[in-house]
Structure 1
Amino acid sequence: MPSPRDATIIPYLKAIWILQHEERVRVGVTALTEKLAKAPATVSQTVRSLADARLIRHKPYGPIELTLKGEQLALAVVRHNRIARAFLYQVLDYPWPEVAREAEGLLPVLHDDLANRLHAVAGSPQTDPYGNPIPGTGESTVRQGRPLSEQRSGVELEILRVSDTDPALLDRFDALGLTPGRRVRVEQTDHATGVISLICNNTAHTIGVQAAYRIFTARPDGKERQYPGQASASTQTASVAARPSASLSVRPSTRTSIASE
């Protein structure tokens, strides 16, 4: 039976929580297989182990739901993971595209006290470097963004969050400056070729529609609908923390509350 700190199950708990609370999709073996990029047989076996450990509820062909114990562990995993990312980026100056991969290796050794200390040293940010909200950072205003591929042309937008699951795509976004806090404007969408022309940092770029779907944006004037708090983390995007520069907004800094595991 797996332990709460088993490195094998940590990615599963994190993925289930994100799918359920932030991406708002029905969590099943297929969704987990796609999210984790693992073989269906491997996912099915681990799901059975999680059910045996009473961390999830799952019946064949039915949805996967976290139990109370599983919910608490998953929430701690998500919080610790995003704090580790913020620490690596803010304090240790890890390259932005590499932060997601490096932070995974820290999860098995992180606990609440250490995570809280790392969070404080990093400046108590409300989001990780990819714009994902850090649970337990207190009340804040969370904005619901839309994929860049769905935005109208000619409208100035702010990048709120980017998908952090594809290392190659993170490298591409970093090279083009398509990171949280940047301003971007869609110039034209060519549906025939699946290519979007855009302006970012006063420079013209082209990216594929599928890549643009992984960049979540909103109007910088905040006229989109506002959603209170991240207590339930029921949003796709958040107010963004980004490394300060002439064209980036400065990371917010707020005092964190301690999340129990």
Structure 2
Amino acid sequence: MSTPRNATIIPYLKTIWILQNEEMARVGVTILSERLSKATATVSQTVRTLADARLIHHEPYGPIELTLKGEQLALKVIRNDRVARAFLYRVLDYPWPDVAREANTLMLVLHDDLANRLHQVSGSPLTDPYGNPIPGTKGEPNARKGRPLGDQPRGVELEILRVSDTDQALLDRFDVLGLTPGQLVRIEHMDHTTGVIYGTCNNTALTIGVQAASRVLTARSDGKEHPKPTQSSSSTQTASVAARPSVSRPDRPSTRTSVTSE
């Protein structure tokens, strides 16, 4: 069977790869339906189409896994998407919360040569503006470890490595609070009754819900590590350290390094 139309398969391949490789999640129809905001019946039909095209492997009641062909296509899609984000943010100065949404359209028209040129013009960053690593980027970054903000100890200066980019409202909230990659944050108090975390971001007071905080990956700014907590409010993820500049300076060259989860 021929490969399905790109506009149909791109969101699926992208989401499956991220879930498998960056969130270490078991991929099924339910989680795809939630992430893509599509009806279960629609997702089930598309999954069958992808399986027929040999882009995924899926047995009844088993996990959805990319084939080699599917993984290669997914990586190209993700690279184009994250290169487009970096270009929009660093070169065109798009608002930080909006680049993920705008890049969804731009990446559809990118071919390899154009993506490489846009990446070069953007300063050849290792990550996109949300701290996600850009596949196929030359240079091996230094490994670091990170945890969700809510799993970190109190009173320690932390650097934001990566934030979730799947929820536009959450990105808007992070932007208002200053919770962007490269910024410094500290937890002062966690109210377990209300589920609210009180702290500072770049010496400015902030409050954030525990659930939202689980979407912000951080590491100690001094490079030291604390023992892994016995109970985690959220799972750790693979992420990348973003450059230290604030969002208002998108054109500053990247100094980002990748990190791996604990």
Q: TM-score, length-normalised on structure 2?
A: 0.87
- Structure 1: tracts of 5 or more residues without a match: 226-233, 255-261
Partner of residue 196, structure 1: 197
Aligned length: 246
User: Residue by residue, what CA displacement relative to the aligned partner does 1:64-109 show, whole Å, maximum 9, x if unpaired?
Assistant: 1111100100011111110000000000111000000000012221
Verify the 8 A CA contact 1:79 1:135 in the aligned structure 2. yes
Cα offset, 1:2, TM superposition: 6.5
Give the 5 Å matches for 1:42-61: 42-61=42-61
The gaps in structure 2 that reach 5 residues or longer are: 227-235, 257-262
Partner of 2:95: 95
The verdict on how the C-alpha distance between 1:245 and 1:10 changes in structure 2, with shifts beyond 3 A counting, is: closer
* Structure 1 residue aligned with 2:38: 38
- CA displacement 1:224-253 (0-9 Å, x = unmatched): 49xxxxxxxx952112136557999x5426
Relative to structure 1, the CA distance from residue 172 to residue 2 in structure 2 (aligned partners, 3 Å threshold; closer, same or farther) is: farther
Tell me the equivalent position of 2:241: 239
Structure 2 letter corresponding to 1:74: A
Equivalent residue runs for 1:1-261 within 5 Å: 3=3, 6-137=6-137, 138-224=139-225, 236-241=238-243, 243-244=245-246, 251-252=253-254
Shift of 1:220: 1.3
Distance 1:117 1:5, change over 3 A: farther
**Taking every aligned residue pair, what percent have the same amino acid on both sides?**
70
Residue-by-residue CA offset, 1:119-171 (whole Å, 9 max, x unaligned): 00000000000000111113112323111011111011000000000101100
> Runs ≥4 in structure 1, deviation > 4 angstroms?
242-248
Q: How has the CA–CA distance of structure 1 residues 144 and 5 changed in structure 2, closer, same or farther, with 3 Å as cutoff?
A: farther
Q: Quick check: 2:180–2:247 contact (8 Å CA) kept in 1?
A: no
| Alpha-carbon distance in 1 for matches of 2:140, 2:241 | 12
Deviations 1:38-60 (A, max 9, x none): 22111111111110111000012
- RMSD value over aligned CA atoms? 2.3
Q: Give the counterpart letter for 1:39 in structure 2.
A: A
Between 57-66 and 155-164, the greater mean CA deviation after superposition? 57-66
Alpha carbons 1:143, 1:235 under 8 Å: kept: no
SS in 2 for 1:153: coil
Cα deviations by residue, 1:191-229 (Å, 9 ceiling, x for unpaired): 10010001012111111110000000001122349xxxx
Residue identity opposite 1:128 in structure 2: D
Instruction: Specify the SS of the correspondent of 1:100.
Output: helix
Higher relative contact order (CA 8 A, sep 6+): 1
CA contact (8 A) 1:130 1:163 kept: yes
Matched-pair contact (CA < 8 Å) for 1:2–1:50: no
Q: The residue matched to 2:223 in structure 1 has which SS?
A: coil
Shift of 1:35: 2.1
Q: Per the alignment, in what secondary structure is the counterpart of residue 7 of structure 2? A: coil
CA contact 1:81–1:104 (8 Å) conserved in 2: yes
